Amino acid sequence: MLILVKNIYKGEGAANNAQKVDFLSASSFSASVSIRRRTNPLPPNPLLRDFHPTGIMIKLFKVKEKQRELAENSNGKPPVKKQSAGELRLHKDISELNLPKTCSISFPNGKDDLMNFEVTIRPDDGYYIGGTFTFTFQISSIYPHEAPKVKCKTKVYHPNIDLDGNVCLNILREDWKPVLNINTIIYGLYHLFTEPNHEDPLNREAAAVLRDNPKMFESNVRRAMAGGYVGQTFFTRCI
């Protein structure tokens, strides 16, 4: 661009040359700036460097989700934990309990832990009348598609309950169906105390005594419930 300006300056008058040089110089400057802009573009704006429509949408979604959580917890209470299908079904079972006066239910871990609770049975008939027997219930998250795990906390002399608290009840094993519920299980446990069964035992020794000598079986039950030894096994008082 400078060469073009010099050639024009030599061929024209001084007065005109000054104007034309100024005009061409301005044009040259403009063209030069334009060329520099195309050759050396401005550095990228750091604010726009990470712009991506999808990323913006995800951030907006997270913001809205956070706002919703804050609105739900605006009363200052901790967030409410979402309940599993098992918890929802258990909640329904408990709300529909229809227990006899000899049975009660409690939640040692508080109302926030419905999946682990205890049932206490006080038989008013049969060999075990006057005793108090506590069972623990552990409910799976896939309940009722899996039967509850039930154990007897109270050490008891019983043909269908072993010394470790394992319970032999058909509806807790092969006969469990999702249509059954907690109410059904508690009635089944109660039935074990009113009519113990020697034909399907866990404690074979107690079952044999019940089958062969019911009077001795009754005596052993009373001794165990009062707190004492039956054979080599000590039982804690539960009357």
**Active-site positions?**
168
- Return all residues near 78 (Cβ < 8 A) that are at least 6 apart: none
Distance between CA 206 and CA 192 in Å, rounded? 14
Tokens representing residue 11 in the block? 């061929």
- Return all residues near 190 (Cβ < 8 A) that are at least 6 apart: 100, 102, 103, 121, 123
Distance between CA 60 and CA 66 in Å, rounded? 10
Q: Are 143 and 178 in contact (CB under 8 A)?
A: no
CB atoms within 10 A of CB 8: 14
Tokens representing residue 188 in the block? 């089944």
Give the DSSP H/E element, type plus range, for residue 136: strand 133-138
Matching residue, tokens 């040692």? 108
User: % helix / strand / coil in the chain, to the nearest 5?
Assistant: 45, 15, 45
